[in-house]
Amino acid sequence: MIIDFKEMNEEYANIIVSKDSIGNYDCYNINHEPEDIDDLLDDSDGYEFFVSFINEKIMGYIECYFENEVLEVGLALLPEFISEGVGTDFVSQAVEYLIDYYEYAGEVIRSFISVDDTRAIEVMERVGFNKIDTTKKWVEMELNV
């Protein structure tokens, strides 16, 4: 499966904000406010967003941030793609895309996953991420690159 990635724009942000999260994925839910669209488009705070597509349909998005020169990523599938068997391809191709996009030469990529999102943790582990730390809310994971 080939997944395409593009930089976030207003059209894509509107589509993403219109979607509701389900089940354990409430931490990714957006409040459907105009500010949410602004957050997805404004990179002045250091966060940058990308959209993923399969067959020209938005399947999810990526949030990127650099902390002490380490690339931190948050990955989210839209509800209709959860449990559809695309997670591993989504994460692995997103990592490849971001390494190329940023010309990233760091040793690791980091991600924080909700402790309740056991499916996402399993997907990240299948791609090669390892658990580094766990708090009441988050599992910190790293991928050696």
Q: Specify the pLDDT at position 132.
A: 97
Domain span at residue 18 reads 4-144
CATH number of the domain bearing residue 90: 3.40.630.30
Q: What is the pTM of this model?
A: 0.86
User: Residues 110-144: pLDDT tens digits?
Assistant: 999 999 999 999 999 999 999 999 999 999 999 99
Of the chain, the percentage scoring pLDDT greater than 90 comes to 69
Q: Are 114 and 138 in contact (CB under 8 A)?
A: yes
Asked if residue 23 has pLDDT above 50, the reply is no
Question: Using a CB cutoff of 8 Å and minimum separation of 24, what contacts does 38-41 make?
Answer: 40/8, 40/12, 40/13, 40/16, 41/8, 41/9, 41/10, 41/13
Q: How many domains does the chain have?
A: 1
Arithmetic mean of pLDDT over the chain: 88
Q: How confident is the model at residue 28 (pLDDT cuts 50, 70, 90)?
A: very low
